């Protein structure tokens, strides 16, 4: 499976990384896992550096709608760091816009190490 994630309840950290072509079913499985673990409040790192997708615009929009529904739930959301290479930014811009609408700290990075340092910073850890 090209989408891998870990959920560390002790650190309150969710980390997902892509390695290959990502399908909508994998994204939905990941969302099911974080919801099932009560991890929406956790700090989250999504590393799409090595990911690809052949999802259509409609499939990407459908994922975005699900994410928006999760944000509309009466649940607090933890900080989110997203790592996306420049060539994928436009493809994911709608989903990034939906993610940015939630009331939580969020930043887009080009480097996973910088993203994790931001999530581990005292200002961000204090909000999680």
Q: Where do the structural domains in the chain lie, given as residue ranges?
A: 3-120
Q: Which residue has the higher pLDDT, 96 or 44?
A: 44
- Of 31-40, 55-64, 119-128, the range with the highest mean pLDDT is 31-40
Mean pLDDT in the chain? 89
The domain made up of 3-120 has a fold known as: Transcription Regulator spoIIAA (3.30.750)
Q: Say what the pLDDT of residue 88 is.
A: 77
Phi, psi dihedrals of residue 104, rounded to the nearest 5°: -170, 155
Which residues, including other chains, have CB under 8 Å from residue 84's CB and lie 6 or more apart? 48, 49, 92, 96, 108, 109, 110
What pTM, to 2 d.p., does this model score?
Answer: 0.87
């Amino acid at each position: 499976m090209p989408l891998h994630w870990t959920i560390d309840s002790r650190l309150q950290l969710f980390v997902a990384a892509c390695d290959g072509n990502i399908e909508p079913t994998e994204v939905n499985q990941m969302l099911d896992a974080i919801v099932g673990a009560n991890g929406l409040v956790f700090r989250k790192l999504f590393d799409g550096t090595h990911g690809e997708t052949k999802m259509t615009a409609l499939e990407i929009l459908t994922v975005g709608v699900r994410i928006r529904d999760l944000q509309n739930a009466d649940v607090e959301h933890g900080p989110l760091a997203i790592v996306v290479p420049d060539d994928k930014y436009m493809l994911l811009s709608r989903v990034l816009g939906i993610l940015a609408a939630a009331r939580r700290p969020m930043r887009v990075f080009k480097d996973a190490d910088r993203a994790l340092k931001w999530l581990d910073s005292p200002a961000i850890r204090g909000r999680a």
